[in-house]
Amino acid sequence: QVQVVESGGGLVQAGGSLRLSCTTSGLSFANRAMGWFRQAAGKSREGVSCISWGGSTSYVDSVKDRFTISRDVAKNIFYLQMNSLKPEDTAMYYCAVRRSTLTRCSLSESQNDYWGQGTQVTVSS
């Protein structure tokens, strides 16, 4: 059974930084695409950033130049480094992994198969 687990959320002041981590049991990150999503209160879930099996990355415009996605395949973990955080970044953050290998990543929910339970990020003004 595949389990996906996020960690690293918390409360931070505007302008601060956090690093989220995501790891799995029962699923290797090798040759797979993965991504980060978030859902703010009262809003639908949106794709934030993703990384394809080959290493190419995508970001939603609102986080470009502030967030960085990376991975360590050997450790089966990937990260979202979030800098210059803003109150509007407050949300539950989820990591997701695509089942198929050798695919490009997607910021579309429906294209991702395995999900974590989420980690809360709260940015105070």
List, for residues 11-59, the tens digit of each pLDDT value: 999 999 999 999 999 999 999 999 999 999 999 999 999 999 999 999 9
pLDDT at 103: 94
What is the token pair recorded at 118? 């989420």
Tell me the average pLDDT across 74-97: 97
Q: What percentage of residues in the chain have a pLDDT greater than 70? A: 100
Question: In degrees rounded to 5, what are phi and psi of residue 31?
Answer: 65, 20
Q: What percentage of residues in the chain have a pLDDT greater than 90? A: 99
Cβ neighbours of residue 39 closer than 8 Å, sequence gap 6 or more: 45, 46, 91, 92, 94, 118
